[in-house]
Amino acid sequence: MKNKSVRRELNPIQQSLFSKLKNIMLVDQRRLSARIHGIGKIKSQEAQQAVAAEIQPQIEQAQLRVENRKSAVKNPIVFPESLPVSQRKAEIQKLLSEHQVIVVAGETGSGKTTQLPKMCLELGFGNLGMIGHTQPRRIAARSVAARIAEELETELGGLAGYKVRFNDQISDDTQIKLMTDGILLAEIQNDRFLNQYSCLIIDEAHERSLNNDFILGYLKQLLPRRRDLKLIITSATIDVERFSKHFNNAPIIEVSGRTYPVEVRYRPVVEEDDQDQLQGILNAVDELQAEGRGDILIFMNGEREIRDTAEALQKQNLKHTEILPLFARLSAQEQNKIFHPSGLNRIVLETNVADTSLTVPGIKYVIDPGTARISSY
């Protein structure tokens, strides 16, 4: 004999309670729905009413929570006119209102990383859930969250916050949540339907990490079950058609970037003169510092190379110069030094943690040895 699941009809008490769940956060909806369904299993009318009386204040509390989230957003939200993405705000918001998924192809300097979450906030996506925003690096998640909080004139951890491995700054009031793709992947294990989110922004999707690819594949299956969940995928101008096709030909909007004139100098390492990469970097630093003040950013392949180069630069006894290493294993306090100019000439030695979604202030010169460590799978 096969067991058949029988769908019970809702009694008037349940119907009354369910009618009040429409405008509360999805997390609260799921929790309270389970309790209301449980009323149908209780035979005694008095016991049903007693449970309903317990649930009613919880519904009112959930409704008040939504009202508080709405009032926490100070309107109008300011969008800097100098950023190209701000010029396309109306178009992006219209597409987002009409479609479940959109692809934003934005060049470097377009402002998409900081302004897209604010556009979602203005549309009210933070009222019934959080606006989740993934970044490929922890330092990017922290710095972008701090920047958005500053633009919204709120404390970090209030309207905007972040969550990275071993550290987070979020609260019950947080509506924009920056995080690494690894954090979102971990959350899927405990929250299969991602009920805490009403909108997700997958930033720098063209980087094609294993985490990102898995998330995009999972979201493809989840979206038909979560019709209320909005998804924004941002990418450089390459590969946008593939992302659009993956999500049933989602609309693409292209945003131009801000670029500045760059002078490129080629200084080949001459092996015949017993020159290696390290000596080439020291020569380039001497040449640039002779031209005048300005911070220097040097791209390196890994932590060991950074330490070796930093040690060699220290031995040069460069005047009025501060040497700042930047790699993933450094503490947040050490990493944040790059955002606070000290008045000295700075030489920032970094791995690819600063490649994307990160603006290091004051950089005038860049030295690139021309090699990179590439992950493949």
Query: Which among 208, 230, 255 is the end of a domain?
Result: 255
Please give the single-letter amino acid code of residue 9.
E
Is the pLDDT at 180 greater than 60, yes or no?
Answer: yes
pLDDT digits (tens, 9 = 90+) for 55-72: 999 999 999 999 999 999
293-313 pLDDT, tens digit per residue, is 889 999 988 889 999 999 999
Q: Would you say 164 and 157 are in contact if contact means Cβ atoms under 8 Å apart?
A: no
What's 94-160 look like in SS3? HHHHHCCEEEEEECCCCCHHHHHHHHHHHCCCCCCCEEEEEECCHHHHHHHHHHHHHHCCCCECCCE
Q: CA-CA distance, 198 to 303, in Å (whole number)?
A: 38
Tell me, yes or no, whether 127 and 245 share the same domain.
yes
Instruction: Answer whether residue 260 is part of any domain.
Output: no
Q: Supply the pTM of this predicted model.
A: 0.85
Output the 3-class SS for the chain.
CCCCCCCCCCCHHHHHHHCCCCCCCHHHHHHHHHHHHHHCCCCCHHHHHHHHHHHHHHHHHHHHHHHHHHHHCCCCCCCCCCCHHHHCHHHHHHHHHHCCEEEEEECCCCCHHHHHHHHHHHCCCCCCCEEEEEECCHHHHHHHHHHHHHHCCCCECCCEEEEECCEEECCCCCCEEEEEHHHHHHHHHHCCCCCCEEEEEECCHHHCCHHHHHHHHHHHHHCCCCCCCEEEEEECCCCHHHHHHHCCCCCEEEECCCCCCCCCCCCCCCHHHCCCHHHHHHHHHHHHHHHCCCEEEEECCCHHHHHHHHHHHHHCCCCCEEEEEECCCCCHHHHHHHHCCCCCEEEEEECHHHCCCCCCCCEEEEECCCCCCCCCC
**pLDDT at position 53:** 94
Cα(128)–Cα(198) distance, rounded to whole angstroms? 7
Q: What integer is the mean pLDDT of 119-145?
A: 93
With respect to residue 115, please indicate whether it lies within any of the assigned structural domains: yes
Do 37 and 159 belong to one domain? no
Total number of domains in the chain: 3
Compute the average pLDDT of residues 356-372: 81
Looking at the fold, whether 181 and 97 belong to one and the same domain comes out as yes
Mean pLDDT of 322-346: 83
Whether residue 123 is found in the same domain as residue 246: yes
- Tally of CB atoms within 10 A around 172: 7
Token duo for residue 325: 């290493």
Residue 272: the pLDDT is 57
Grade residue 4 by pLDDT with cuts at 50, 70 and 90. low
The predicted-structure confidence for 261-282, as pLDDT tens digits, reads as follows 889 999 887 765 667 888 889 9
Q: Which amino acid is at 135?
A: Q
Strand order in the sheet with 363-367: 321-326, 345-350, 295-299, 363-367
158 and 239, same domain (yes or no): yes
User: Do both 108 and 239 map to the same domain?
Assistant: yes
Cα angle value 282/286/292 (rounded, 5°): 145
* Residue 63: Cβ within 10 Å count: 17
Residue range 156-175: mean pLDDT, rounded: 94
Low-confidence winner among 4-8, 63-67, 96-100, 282-286 (lowest mean pLDDT): 4-8
- As a whole number, mean pLDDT of residues 30-53 equals 91
Q: Nearest 5 degrees, angle CA 304-CA 309-CA 314? A: 130
Q: For residue 21, is pLDDT > 70?
A: yes
Average per-residue pLDDT for the chain: 89
Of 27, 50, 72, the residue that ends a domain is 72
Least confident of 2-6, 137-141, 203-207, 247-251: 2-6
pLDDT over 60 (residue 119): yes
Q: Which amino acid is at 17?
A: L
Range in 102-111, 159-168, 317-326, 334-343 the model is least confident about: 334-343
Q: How confident is the model at residue 237 (pLDDT cuts 50, 70, 90)?
A: low
> For residues 261 and 189, which has the higher predicted lDDT (pLDDT)?
189
Give the range of the structural domain holding residue 17, as residue numbers without chain letter: 12-72
CATH number of the domain within which 356 lies: 3.40.50.300
The residue among 330 and 194 whose pLDDT is bigger is 194
Q: Is there a domain that residue 261 lies in?
A: no
354 has pLDDT over 70: no
pLDDT value for 353: 63
- At residue 375, does pLDDT exceed 70? no
Same domain, residue pair 362 and 243: no
CA 363/CA 58 separation, integer angstroms: 53
Give dist(CA 84, CA 97) in Å, integer: 21
Residues 64 and 100 in one domain: no
pLDDT at 329: 81
Same domain for 249 and 139 = yes
